[in-house]
């Protein structure tokens, strides 16, 4: 089973780009973040034409998350009490696995009120995750806006204390992992493998990226992860189609 997470930065702007990816890579399950669309505007037929069932929670202009699968998705859950009504979390069960797609706040800067909001969101997320059956197969995946370690960011010394690589965020990351989650990607990609590059200042060209998009799995799934990848080619233009500022992250789970 190939599982993919991707922050598409507007599903509307990325529809054709994503369709090409789905046709070629054919993931079994995928999680998208930053739809930037209301529910009514989600291009459902683009997915169903390709054999996917999709569930989503959208929002005008910001946020919005989606789960897609080739097999039916059941027990769909949207949001959690502390998310302020933002469309940042959707959970559903497919292929015998519970998938939780999340889009964590970016936080702006470490001195911004948005950073407080970000830390609070992690706390709420952790409480929500802790209430799940963590002895069962769960995949928590999405844009978590944290680079966990120095191998996950282009300038760990210069970026220390910046949003995405802040000690308080690393505390949150550790607490989340301590619940019994495991990074499914880290063991399979070399240091310096990133999933996000800012559009500005030629960051992609200069290799100034961060690994902030993650696939975390509970113990029953750890032994089923056979490979993982982050495809930086998807951060490049595709003909005249513009890329997201994030690349897709893939994990293969053995049956």
Exposure on the CB side of residue 209, measured as CA atoms within 13 A: 20
Which of 2, 13, 46, 134 binds DNA (CB under 7 A)? It is 13
Using CA atoms, how far apart are residues 76 and 247, in angstroms rounded to an integer? Answer: 26
Residues annotated as catalytic are 103, 143
Is 62 or 178 the residue whose CB approaches DNA more closely?
62
- What one-character-per-residue DSSP string does 38-61 give? -GGGS-HHHHHTTT-EEEEE--SS
Is 73 or 110 the residue whose CB approaches DNA more closely?
110
Is residue 141 a contact partner of residue 216, using CB atoms and an 8 Å limit? yes
Window 204-243: residues binding DNA (CB under 7 A)? 242
Q: Which helix (H) or strand (E) holds 173?
A: helix 167-178
Cα torsion angle, 242, 245, 247, 248, sign = negative
Rounded to a whole number of angstroms, the minimum distance from the CB of residue 114 to DNA is: 5
Task: Count residues binding DNA (CB under 7 A).
Answer: 19
Tell me if 10 contacts DNA by CB under 7 A. yes
Which of 123, 201, 238, 254 binds DNA (CB under 7 A)? It is 201
Is 36 or 214 the residue whose CB approaches DNA more closely?
36
Which of 16, 48, 51, 62 binds DNA (CB under 7 A)? It is 62
Which of 71, 95, 106, 227 binds DNA (CB under 7 A)? It is 106
Tell me if 166 contacts DNA by CB under 7 A. no
Tell me if 108 contacts DNA by CB under 7 A. yes
Tell me if 76 contacts DNA by CB under 7 A. no
- What one-character-per-residue DSSP string does 224-249 give? TEEEEEE-GGGGS-BTTBPPPSB--E
Using CA atoms, how far apart are residues 205 and 227, in angstroms rounded to an integer? Answer: 27
Q: Which helix (H) or strand (E) holds 21?
A: helix 11-25
Which of 4, 5, 18, 36 binds DNA (CB under 7 A)? It is 36
Residues that bind DNA (CB under 7 A): 9-10, 12-13, 34, 36, 60-62, 105-108, 114, 199-201, 242, 245
């Amino acid at each position: 089973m190939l599982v993919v997470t991707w922050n598409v930065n507007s599903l509307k702007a990325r529809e054709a780009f994503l369709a090409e990816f789905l046709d070629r890579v054919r993931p079994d399950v995928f999680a998208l973040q930053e739809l930037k669309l209301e529910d009514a505007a989600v291009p459902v037929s683009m997915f169903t034409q390709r054999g996917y069932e999709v569930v989503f929670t959208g929002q005008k202009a910001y946020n919005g998350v989606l789960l897609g699968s080739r097999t039916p998705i059941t027990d769909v859950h949207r949001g959690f009490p502390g998310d302020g009504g933002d469309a940042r979390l959707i959970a559903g069960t497919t292929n015998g696995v519970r998938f939780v797609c999340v889009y964590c706040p970016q936080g702006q800067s470490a001195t911004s009120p948005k950073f407080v909001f970000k830390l609070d969101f992690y706390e709420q997320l952790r409480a929500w995750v802790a209430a799940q059956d963590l002895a069962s197969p769960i995949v928590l995946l999405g844009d978590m806006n944290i680079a966990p370690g120095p191998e996950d960011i282009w300038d760990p010394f210069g970026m220390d204390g910046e949003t995405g690589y802040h000690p308080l965020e690393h505390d949150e990351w550790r607490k989340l992992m301590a619940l019994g989650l495991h990074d499914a990607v880290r063991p399979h990609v070399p240091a310096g493998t990133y999933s996000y590059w800012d559009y500005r200042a030629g960051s992609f060209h200069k290799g100034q990226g961060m690994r902030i998009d993650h696939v975390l799995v509970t113990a029953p799934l750890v032994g089923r992860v056979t490979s993982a990848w982050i495809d930086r080619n998807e951060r490049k233009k595709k003909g005249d189609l513009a890329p997201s500022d994030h690349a897709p992250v893939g994990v293969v789970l053995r049956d």
